[in-house]
A and B are shown apart, each in its own frame.
Chain A
Amino acid sequence: MAENRKYLPLASTRRLEKLMTRYYFLTRYHRFWGKPLRRPLAWVTSGAPVELLRAFRIHPVYPENYGAICGTRRVSAQLCQVAEAAGYSQDLCSYARSHIGSILRPELAPMGGLPKPDLLVACNNICGTVLKWYEALARIFRVPLLVLDTPFLPGELTESAKSYVLEQLKHMADFLAHFTGRRLDRRELERHMALSKETVNLWKEIRGFCRAKPSPLNAPDLFIHMAPIVVLRGTPQAVHYYRLLRNEVNSRVQQGQGAVPGEKIRLVWDNIAIWYRIFGFFQMFSERGACFVTDTYSGGWVMELTEGDPLESLAATYTEIFLNRSPEFRARQMIELIKDYNADGFVMHSNRSCKPYSLVQEVIRRRVMQETGVPGLVVEADMADQRVFAEEPVRNRVQAFLETLSDI
Chain B
Amino acid sequence: MTGMVKTSKEKEQLNLLLEEAALSGREAAGRYPGRRFFGYFCSYWPEELVLAAGLEPLRMLPASSRGAPAALPVYCCSLAKDTLSLAAEGKFNNLAGVGFAHTCDTMQCLGGIWGETAGQAVTLVLVPPVRLDAPGALAYFKAELAALLQRLAGLTGHQPGGEDLHRALALCEHIRRLAARLDEMRSLLPSPLVAALLRAGQVMPRADFARALETALPALQEQAADPGDKRRVLVSGAVLENDDLFRSIEELGGRVVADDTCTGYRHFTGSYAGGKDDPLAAIARRYIAMPPCPCRHRGLDARPDHLEKLARARQAHGVILVTRKYCEPHAWDAVPLSQRLRGAGLHVLVLELEGAEIGGQERTRLQAFLESF
Give the interface of A toward B (CB within 8 A).
86-89, 91-93, 124, 127-129, 131-133, 135-136, 138-139, 145, 147, 149, 151-154, 158-161, 163-164, 166-168, 170-171, 326-328, 350, 352, 355-356, 358-363, 380
B75 x A352 contact (CB < 8 A): yes
A89 x B331 contact (CB < 8 A): yes
Do A356 and B105 form a contact, CB below 8 Å, given A138-B300, A154-B127?
Answer: yes
Give the contacting residue for A359; candidates B109, B147, B336; CB below 8 A: B109
The stretch among B8-16, B128-136, B160-168, B192-200 that forms the contact with chain A is B128-136
B130 x A131 contact (CB < 8 A): yes
- In the complex, the chain B residue whose C-beta lies closest to that of A96 is B332
- In the complex, the chain B residue whose C-beta lies closest to that of A324 is B108
A163 x B139 contact (CB < 8 A): yes
Do A356 and B108 form a contact, CB below 8 Å, given A92-B332, A124-B130, A135-B300?
Answer: yes
Per-residue 0/1 for B328-342: is the Cβ within 8 Å of any A Cβ (1 yes, 0 no)? 110111111010000
> Bound complex: CA of A327 vs CA of B116, how far in Å?
11
Smallest CB separation, A282 vs chain B (Å): 22
> Bound complex: CA of A356 vs CA of B113, how far in Å?
12
The interface residues of chain B lying within 8 Å CB-to-CB of A168 are 131, 134-136
> Bound complex: CA of A92 vs CA of B329, how far in Å?
9
B70 at the A interface (CB under 8 A)? yes
Smallest CB separation, A175 vs chain B (Å): 11
> Bound complex: CA of A159 vs CA of B147, how far in Å?
12
B300 x A151 contact (CB < 8 A): no
The interface residues of chain A lying within 8 Å CB-to-CB of B72 are 359, 362
B214 at the A interface (CB under 8 A)? no
> Bound complex: CA of A127 vs CA of B195, how far in Å?
32
Smallest CB separation, A358 vs chain B (Å): 6
Do A136 and B336 form a contact, CB below 8 Å, given A154-B111, A171-B135, A363-B116?
Answer: yes
The interface residues of chain A lying within 8 Å CB-to-CB of B117 are 363
B113 x A327 contact (CB < 8 A): yes
A149 x B129 contact (CB < 8 A): yes
Smallest CB separation, A101 vs chain B (Å): 13
B76 at the A interface (CB under 8 A)? yes
Interface residues of B in 107-164 (CB under 8 A from A): 108-113, 116-117, 125, 127, 129-131, 134-137, 139-140, 143-144, 147
> Bound complex: CA of A328 vs CA of B200, how far in Å?
36
B30 at the A interface (CB under 8 A)? no
> Bound complex: CA of A87 vs CA of B321, how far in Å?
13
Do A91 and B331 form a contact, CB below 8 Å, given A127-B105, A161-B140, A359-B109?
Answer: yes
> Bound complex: CA of A147 vs CA of B136, how far in Å?
13
B29 at the A interface (CB under 8 A)? no
- In the complex, the chain B residue whose C-beta lies closest to that of A126 is B105
> Bound complex: CA of A153 vs CA of B102, how far in Å?
10
B360 at the A interface (CB under 8 A)? no
> Bound complex: CA of A399 vs CA of B78, how far in Å?
32
The interface residues of chain A lying within 8 Å CB-to-CB of B106 are 355, 359
B136 x A128 contact (CB < 8 A): no
Smallest CB separation, A169 vs chain B (Å): 10
> Bound complex: CA of A56 vs CA of B109, how far in Å?
36
Those 4 A-B pairs whose CB atoms lie nearest each other, nearest first: A167-B136, A160-B143, A359-B109, A164-B140
A380 x B102 contact (CB < 8 A): no
Smallest CB separation, A280 vs chain B (Å): 23
- In the complex, the chain B residue whose C-beta lies closest to that of A140 is B336
- In the complex, the chain A residue whose C-beta lies closest to that of B136 is A167
15 residue pairs A–B, Cβ–Cβ below 8 Å: A91-B325, A92-B328, A128-B104, A129-B332, A132-B294, A132-B328, A135-B336, A147-B130, A159-B143, A161-B127, A161-B140, A167-B135, A168-B135, A326-B112, A380-B73
Smallest CB separation, B204 vs chain A (Å): 29
The interface residues of chain A lying within 8 Å CB-to-CB of B134 are 147, 149, 164, 167-168, 171
> Bound complex: CA of A196 vs CA of B116, how far in Å?
38
Question: Can you name 16 extra interface pairs (CB under 8 A) apart from A135-B332, A154-B111, A166-B136?
Answer: A88-B331, A91-B328, A129-B332, A132-B328, A151-B140, A163-B139, A164-B129, A356-B105, A356-B109, A359-B105, A359-B109, A360-B109, A360-B113, A362-B70, A363-B112, A363-B117
> Bound complex: CA of A82 vs CA of B300, how far in Å?
23
B344 at the A interface (CB under 8 A)? no
The interface residues of chain A lying within 8 Å CB-to-CB of B147 are 158, 160
Do A128 and B73 form a contact, CB below 8 Å, given A158-B147, A163-B136?
Answer: no
A363 x B71 contact (CB < 8 A): yes
A360 x B295 contact (CB < 8 A): no
B329 x A128 contact (CB < 8 A): yes
Give the contacting residue for A129; candidates B323, B325, B328; CB below 8 A: B328
A128 x B295 contact (CB < 8 A): yes
Smallest CB separation, B340 vs chain A (Å): 10
The interface residues of chain A lying within 8 Å CB-to-CB of B125 are 152, 154
Interface residues of B in 240-269 (CB under 8 A from A): none
The interface residues of chain A lying within 8 Å CB-to-CB of B108 are 128, 152, 356
A359 x B335 contact (CB < 8 A): no
Give the contacting residue for A163; candidates B75, B140, B325; CB below 8 A: B140
> Bound complex: CA of A145 vs CA of B108, how far in Å?
24
> Bound complex: CA of A161 vs CA of B102, how far in Å?
14
Smallest CB separation, A296 vs chain B (Å): 15
Give the contacting residue for A149; candidates B112, B113, B130, B331; CB below 8 A: B130
Give the contacting residue for B76; candidates A92, A131, A359; CB below 8 A: A359
B347 at the A interface (CB under 8 A)? no
Per-residue 0/1 for B59-82: is the Cβ within 8 Å of any A Cβ (1 yes, 0 no)? 000000000001111011000000
> Bound complex: CA of A328 vs CA of B114, how far in Å?
12
Smallest CB separation, A1 vs chain B (Å): 35
> Bound complex: CA of A152 vs CA of B295, how far in Å?
13
A86 x B328 contact (CB < 8 A): no
